[in-house]
Chain A
Amino acid sequence: MLTMKQVSKVFRTAMVETHALRELDLQVNEGEFVAVTGPSGSGKTTFLNIAGLLEELTSGSYLLDGVDVKSLDDHARSKLRNEKLGFVFQSFNLIPDLDLFDNVDVPLRYRGFSRGDRKKRIESALERVGLVSRMRHYPAELSGGQQQRVAIARAIAGDPKLLLADEPTGNLDSQMAREVMQLLEDLNAQGTVVVIVTHDPEIAARAQRNVHIVDGVATDLDRGPSLVRPAKPAKSGDHPAA
């Protein structure tokens, strides 16, 4: 589903070169529920941005559902993003001037679905997250947890193959956090690949697979050390294979 090989991301300014990702390898297959952990500054947000086609990689290759993203122009990447991916952000990122229906509608519009098709999908998505009755309300009228659920509805309305979540429970209290995680697990059970970036070990524990990113390199915490590929001599913070 998601295949990254030797992916590097370098940020260059006039004075400093930052290697956010160093020849990272990762493979995520159908049906998996992956939690990506790592200290801040480790590159996990960068990883998510690249995985979500929000940023371009400096070197290496990334195949999303079999499509090599390197050759894609902005238009094609947008399309791919639109069709295959769903996003859930830490700060929900709902558009405040639109009601819930129109918020979930946004990605569908860029997909080009017909009016009736969109309506069906929106209602069904909101139903799945349990908010269809408040379809015409505005985000400001909802609690944090509810807003996040709407964001999830928005993410799944187009039947994406891969759901990417960046600290989805970061702004929620523990009760709401549990509800959201339950929702994500249900979605995974129904066939969507879910990749969550989190720094909360409790959340990570609920995932089926854990990947740890440190200093731009990814390590599976439940797999063998064969995937570890230190490009440089061991630094402090590199976790040896468990």
Chain B
Amino acid sequence: MLGYYLDLARRSFKKNVALTILMVLAIGFGVGASMTTLTVLRMLASDPIPQASGKLFTVQLEPRKARGENPPEPPEQVTRFDSETMLREAKGDRQAMMTGGSVAIEPQRPGLDPFFSEARFTSMDFFAMFRVPFVAGGAWTAEDDAKNGHVVVIARTLAEKLFGATDVIGKTVQIEGTPMRVVGVTDRWLPTPHFYDLNTGEYGQVEQVYVPFSTSRELNLHRSGSMECWGEHGGNSTALDAPCVWIQYWVELESDAKVAAYKDYLVAYSQEQKRTGRFERDPNVRLRNVMEWLDYKEVVPNDARIQTWVALGFLLVCLINTIGLLLTKFLRRSPEIGVRRALGASKRSIFMQLLVEAGMIGVVGGLLGLALAWLGLWAVRHQPTDYAELASLDLPMLLGTFGLAVVSSLLAGLLPAWRACQVTPALQLKSH
């Protein structure tokens, strides 16, 4: 029977081309718009590191001066003193301190001018914690951290730009006048969003150069990101004891018990700092895992959410429109339906026949919607926003587009099909 219904549907479309096209366009545009915005939203709200996001935590302490009421939330970053201390005490399974920066690179290749590159100044565990893939070599050692080793990890694209190859371990990169030895080359890595430091861009390009933090201070490399100071620092806000927060501190904790234990450690540490007079307020610590952190920072732009709602509202109106058009289409065929019923079609047969027709519109509309979503994401990719390049249809979204179109047209067809199959054969034939 399905083949018969498909054939009847096809005939019905041919007979009423304008109406069919209108319905297909409505479903196509509604689905296309919805899937474009949903894909973008899904990408923006995605887990940047699903294999470990539950185990990675960002640390927040309250080191600021006690003036007036206690602020409810401690600052989002930590001081250099606290980071280096916590790093030394190493109470987590892994931990790393980090900040963003920018470095000038003087290529040795003739014909390449010096250029600027985003950098990250961090400690050894960064790479293991964040599961950074390497195409050659690996992270530097603890000794490099301790002794300001002149080593560097660079990204694959940078290696190819500087040396034309990725197997460049041991080669030298001239950074701000200092030769640095390459110990590792990272493979393509684009955590979305840039969760570990949202100050240097939430989505989009990641750092190309990684330098040990201690080395970056030795060479006085330029830092970037956000800094908040609450006291006098005598002009050097990046000094070890400067009253400024500008460092992100992440720790990896394998189990809930360890999380609880680490939190206790942070509180104890804060109390100790208060006792020595460095901290002035009561302990106010935070330990947020990746998704909690992203949620707290409200990293998904409101605009993306609003756009998604608007697109869904649009789809809703398209569906209501389709219900109406299907209703008229089916009811116009009451005479034919009456004949079929008289000839022995049950209500259910008529219902199925009409539902198949609605479904077919969904299929064609789905194909159109797919094309439009692809087009929409192409347009998004060419927007000069940070996250633009990442917007594309992966398999689940592709299937989702199609599914959405078919399901919504079937839903839209339910009421019209039901109404149409209620037509009593006797009434119809009498009027003839």
Instruction: Output the least CB separation between A87 and chain B (Å).
Output: 5
Chain B interface (Cβ < 8 Å from any Cβ of A): 1, 4, 11-12, 15, 335-336, 338-349, 424-426, 429-430, 432
Residues of B within 8 A of A82 (CB): 343-345
Q: Which of A43-101 contact B (CB under 8 A)?
A: 45, 49, 52, 54-55, 74-75, 78-79, 81-83, 85, 87, 89-91, 93, 95, 97-98
Whether the Cβ atoms of B344 and A55 lie closer than 8 Å is no
Q: Does A22 contact B (CB under 8 A)?
A: no
How far apart sit A97 and B9, CA to CA, in the bound complex (Å)?
Answer: 12
B348: which of A45, A52, A75, A98 is its contact (CB, 8 Å)?
A75
- 8 A-B pairs within 8 Å (CB atoms) are namely A54-B341, A55-B426, A78-B341, A78-B347, A89-B429, A89-B432, A107-B344, A109-B1
Closest beta carbon of chain B to A88's beta carbon, Å: 11
Interface contact A74-B346, CB-CB below 8 Å: yes
Cα distance, A232 to B426, chains bound together (Å): 28
The DSSP consensus for interface residues of chain B is: helix
- Contact of B342 (CB < 8 Å), options: A54, A74, A90, A111: A54
Beyond A79-B344, A97-B15, 19 extra complex contacts between A and B, CB < 8 Å:
A49-B430, A52-B342, A54-B342, A54-B424, A54-B429, A74-B347, A75-B346, A75-B348, A78-B345, A78-B349, A81-B342, A81-B343, A82-B345, A83-B344, A85-B344, A93-B335, A93-B339, A106-B343, A110-B345
* Interface core residue of B15, B336, B346 (most chain A CB under 10 Å): B346
**Closest partner residue, chain B, to A91 (CB atom):** B432
Query: For A109, what are the chain B residues with a Cβ–Cβ distance below 8 Å?
Result: 1, 4
Indicate whether A154 reaches chain B with its CB closer than 8 angstroms. Answer: yes
Determine if B432 and A78 form an interchain contact, defined as CB atoms under 8 angstroms apart: no
Going nearest first, the 9 A-B pairs with the smallest beta carbon separation are: A82-B344, A78-B346, A54-B426, A107-B343, A91-B432, A49-B426, A110-B344, A55-B426, A75-B346
A150 to chain B, nearest CB (A): 13
Give chain A residues whose Cβ lies under 8 Å from the Cβ of B343: 81-82, 87, 106-107, 110, 154
Contact A81 B344 (CB under 8 A): yes
Shortest distance between the CB of B22 and any CB in chain A (Å): 20
Rounded to whole Å, the gap between the CB of B124 and the closest CB of chain A is 74
List A residues at the B interface (Cβ < 8 Å). Answer: 45, 49, 52, 54-55, 74-75, 78-79, 81-83, 85, 87, 89-91, 93, 95, 97-98, 106-107, 109-111, 154, 166
How far does the alpha carbon of A79 sit from the alpha carbon of B346 in the complex, in Å?
7
Shortest distance in angstroms between B269's beta carbon and chain A's nearest beta carbon? 76
CB of B388, distance to nearest CB on chain A (Å)? 49
The docked-state distance in angstroms from the alpha carbon of A54 to that of B340 is 11
CB distance from B312 to the nearest CB of A (A): 37
CB <8 Å contact, B424 and A55: yes
How far apart sit A91 and B428, CA to CA, in the bound complex (Å)?
12
Q: Give A120 Cβ to nearest chain B Cβ, in Å.
A: 18
**B338 cross-chain contacts in A, Cβ below 8 A:** 93
Q: From known contacts A93-B339, A95-B336, infer whether A111 and B432 are also in contact, taking CB-CB under 8 Å.
A: no
Known contacts A54-B425, A87-B343; A110 and B430 CB within 8 A of each other:
no
Distance to closest chain A CB from B387 (angstroms): 51
The chain A residue with its CB closest to the CB of B421 is: A74
Rounded to whole angstroms, the CA-CA distance of A98 and B10 in the bound complex is 12
Taken together as a complex, chains A and B put the C-alpha atoms of A78 and B347 apart, in Å, by 8
Q: Are B349 and A110 in contact (CB under 8 A)?
A: yes
Contact of B429 among A78, A81, A93 (CB under 8 A): A93
Q: Say how far A117's CB is from chain B's closest CB, in angstroms.
A: 14
Determine how close the nearest CB of chain A comes to the CB of B427; give it in whole angstroms.
Answer: 9
On whether the beta carbons of B340 and A106 are closer than 8 Å, the reply is yes
Question: What separation, in Å, do the CA atoms of A85 and B335 have in the docked complex?
Answer: 19
For A45, the chain B residues whose CB sits under 8 A away are: 430
Q: Which of A45, A54, A97, A166 has the most CB of B within 10 A?
A: A54
CA gap between A90 and B430 in the complex, in Å: 10
> In the docked arrangement, what's the CA distance between A81 and B336, Å?
17
Q: How far is the CB of A106 from chain B (nearest CB, A)?
A: 5
Closest chain-A Cβ to B341's Cβ sits at a distance in Å of 7
Cα of A49 to Cα of B338 in the assembled complex, Å: 12
